[in-house]
Amino acid sequence: MAFEKDLNLDATELRLGLPGTSDESAKNQTPATLRSNNKRALPEESMSSNATASKNCDQETAPLPKAQVIGWPPIRSYRKNNLQPKKSEGEISGIYVKVSMDGAPYLRKIDLKVFKGYQELLKALEDMFKFKAGEYSEREGYNGSEFVPTYEDKDGDWMLVGDVPWEMFTNSCKKLRIMKGSEARGLGCVV
């Protein structure tokens, strides 16, 4: 939207006090108290005037990216007060673990909570580091690739990804490492 290009730094400055209580011009009031700028003669005009106005609502609650107009969106205050955001609703916050790959210059971090199982995790790792993990089997580990996904568990041991049930894995995984080449052979990988 057009108004996002308008870097109104004053508006995003953290300040105590209600919008309109500083030394700004009348133009910078919130839409709820705005009078003359309510006319919607031209869409662009009204959008930008409402935009600068609404940007200044951010003074009260600076972190919010969007404007806060009093009473908008029109949701019952009971609902607003009682709807807990997804993140904290019964679910624990994300499980972020470091991922390293042998030979890569820097590590990455991923949130294990977003994956539903090993398939999704491996796909994400493959995309992130541009490799192929090969076929997993309980007997032989990862077949057909020189890359093997491993993880360090709570005991400090390096384990092959995929052996234990997913929930158990996410609870015990401390960090991930994609091993490559000869070192990987020791984990039952047949090259």
Query: Minimum distance from CB of 61 to other proteins (Å)?
Result: 8
Question: Which residues sit opposite 142 in a β-bridge?
Answer: 136
Burial class (CB in 10 A: 0-12, 13-18, 19+), 58: buried
Q: Which helix (H) or strand (E) holds 56?
A: none
Closer CB to other proteins, 49 or 150, in the complex: 49
Indicate whether 34 belongs to the interface with other proteins (CB under 8 A).
Answer: yes
Which CA distances in Å does 31 have to 20, 36, 69, 79?
11, 10, 7, 23
Candidate residues 10, 69, 143, 152; the one interacting with other proteins per rule CB under 8 A:
69
Indicate whether 48 belongs to the interface with other proteins (CB under 8 A).
Answer: no
Stretch that binds other proteins, among 20-28, 45-53, 104-112, 120-128 (CB under 8 A): 45-53
Which CA distances in Å does 187 have to 54, 59, 73, 171, 183?
59, 57, 56, 22, 8
Tell me the C-alpha distance between 186 and 161, whole Å.
Answer: 14
Longest dimension (CA), the chain: 76
Contact between 104 and 129 (Cβ < 8 Å): yes
Indicate whether 5 belongs to the interface with other proteins (CB under 8 A).
Answer: no
Closer CB to other proteins, 82 or 93, in the complex: 82
Closer CB to other proteins, 22 or 38, in the complex: 38
Query: Minimum distance from CB of 187 to other proteins (Å)?
Result: 30
Indicate whether 75 belongs to the interface with other proteins (CB under 8 A).
Answer: yes
Indicate whether 113 belongs to the interface with other proteins (CB under 8 A).
Answer: no
Q: In the complex, which residues of this chain contact other proteins (CB under 8 A)?
A: 31-35, 38-41, 43, 46-47, 50, 64-66, 68-86, 89-91
